[in-house]
Structure 1
Amino acid sequence: MGLVELAFSDWIGTITLNNPKKLNALSEELIKDFCDALEELKRQSVRVVILRAPAGSKIFSAGHDMRELPLDGRDPLTYTDPLRLAVRTIEYFPAPIIAMVEGSVWGGACELVLSCDIIIAAEDVTFAITPAKIGVPYNISGVQNLIITGGTHICKEMLFAAQPFPVKRLVDAEIVNRAVPIDQLETVAQTLAEQISKNSPLVISLLKEEIRLLSTSHNLSPETFERVQSMRRSVYDSDDYQEGIKAFFEKRPPIFKGK
């Protein structure tokens, strides 16, 4: 678990993303370490998990590791993509996961945080979902998760504008549970974790699964799924997709031509 730190005490586990040199980018290696840490906490029968970045972080996570996105016409966000694996692992984990957010959240890391059961954030945090800015075709599961968590209109604004959202707006929209002063963040998250840990773990595990099933009970028809996949394929096969990734590494605004 070289890219995350793991600790647990009194039924509470803590996972700290710890790759500051790459801004905690969600690389395949970091996601593997994260999922391994959750598996270990499951073996320890923890009753609640806190997910965080190191104290003092300016960036919680920079999202997808752009260096791992394919340039050969392959779908960049498949069912086995590291982010999809991380989200499913969070969703199926039998205990609540609290995202304790210090530092800004970018790109795919927004979905990672929003997939957690409870979000406690410092009041100066911003969230930015940026696939439209870099030309990456977000997939159905990702968009569905954002809609379930944030609602259609907030989801559209965040995805279409790809600009930082102040956490206060997300609290007002009931997407983030609480925004607190930075010097109170750890205390608030730890107190909530302790409250949860004293309740029935069997009931909480059941409630988490019931909520997951109820929130994902609207299925797409095979025809609709195939149509959306075809639209996505036209994006990751496009010149704009190549341009978005090239511009990112050249540290310049991309010039999208819509083809």
Structure 2
Amino acid sequence: MITTHIDGAVGTITLNHEAKRNALSERLVDAVIAALAEFTRQEVRCAVLRAASGVKVWSAGHDVSELPEGGLDPLGWRDPLRHLIRELENFPAPIIALIEGSVWGGACETVLACDLIVATPEASFAATPAKHSVPYNVSGLLTFLNAAHIHIAKEMLFTAQPIPASRLERMGIINHVAAAGEIDAFTYDMARTIAGNAPLSISVMKEQLRILAGAHTMSPQDFERIQGLRRVVYNSQDYSEGIRAFKEKRKPRFEGR
């Protein structure tokens, strides 16, 4: 599912399941989380999360075939993607997402949960829950809101259309755009620079920033309202239709109920 490599204080996790376009299945997510745990044990000071060089699809996002067909929350607390996002955010060292190719669905949130993002000019990002009538949870939406202006987050989530890396760089959502022939050297030079700085200082600042980014006040009534809105989607006929259409490789027929 993945390959890993440690060079000095820099660790690399490479998504390596091209048969399913690096979809974030439970097996692949478990492998990434295990690699992060090993990196922590080995005292890696900076990690790079990437796909194989030259791929057309960095990750196809959530493995829709693993989602329940209806009646159950598809993106609950124990969902593999939620687990992965928490581990990326809690990893004690910075994680750089090195992006070639297109990033779909839940993989967009995965990338945005990393600390820094470097992409090629050809890379693009498409947040696709609306294509499958999949509800998003509060923590997932906050990942988008912490990375992007609300109007850009709405455009990504409402249209489900790809946005090029060059545009996201101009808006400060991506740190750098580098040519395909230069992106490895650029990213690993940055990783080595980070690894050469004080690791305890960086680890503490990362945790402080994580806490501050999540410091959004919400009343119990508002939280219950948001959860209730999610149930409107995953109990709907449209949700079941979206999952069936994906599995049957056809365009879904949404009716808004």
Indicate whether the TM-score tops 0.5.
yes
Post-superposition offset of 1:180: 1.1
Shift of 1:217: 0.9
Distance 1:235 1:214 in 2: 30
C-alpha distance in 1 between matches for 2:61 and 2:80: 11
Aligned position for 2:154: 156
Quick one: which of 51, 54, 58 aligns to 2:52? 54
Superposition RMSD on alpha carbons, in Å? 0.8
Deviates more, 1:145-154 or 1:212-221: 212-221
Q: Which amino acid aligns with 1:69?
A: L
Structure 1 residue 219 displacement after superposition: 2.8
2:209 aligns to what?
A: 211
Amino acid at match of 1:240: D
8 Å CA contact 2:70, 2:240 repeated in 1: no
| Residues 109-258 of structure 1 aligned to structure 2 (within 5 Å) | 109-258=107-256
Q: Distance between the aligned counterparts of 2:207 and 2:159, measured in 1?
A: 33
User: One-letter code of the match for 1:90?
Assistant: L
Q: Distance in 2 between matches of 1:72 and 1:174?
A: 37
Structure 2 CA distance for aligned equivalents of residues 33 and 202 of structure 1: 26
Deviation at 1:148, TM superposition (A): 0.7
2:29 to 28, 31, 36: 31
- What is aligned with 2:89? 91
Structure 2 gap ranges (5+): none
SS in 1 for 2:181: helix
Q: Which moved more, 1:40-49 or 1:146-155?
A: 146-155
- In the alignment, the residues of structure 1 paired with residue 84 and residue 247 of structure 2 have an alpha-carbon distance, to the nearest angstrom, of 25
Structure 1 partner of 2:8: 10
Alignment check: 8 A CA contact 2:238 2:256 kept = yes
Alignment of 1:60-79 (within 5 A): 60-79=58-77
Deviations 1:37-63 (A, max 9, x none): 000000000100000001121100000
Cα deviation 1:129-174 (Å, max 9, x = unaligned): 0001110011111011101111211100000000000111110110
SS in 1 for 2:182: helix
Equivalent pair of 2:69/2:244 in contact (CA under 8 Å): no
How far is the alpha carbon of 1:80 from its aligned partner? 1.0
Q: What is the SS of the residue equivalent to 1:218?
A: coil
Secondary structure at 1:248 match in 2: helix
* Cα drift, residue 223 of structure 1: 1.1
Q: Indicate the larger mover: 78-87 or 212-221.
A: 212-221
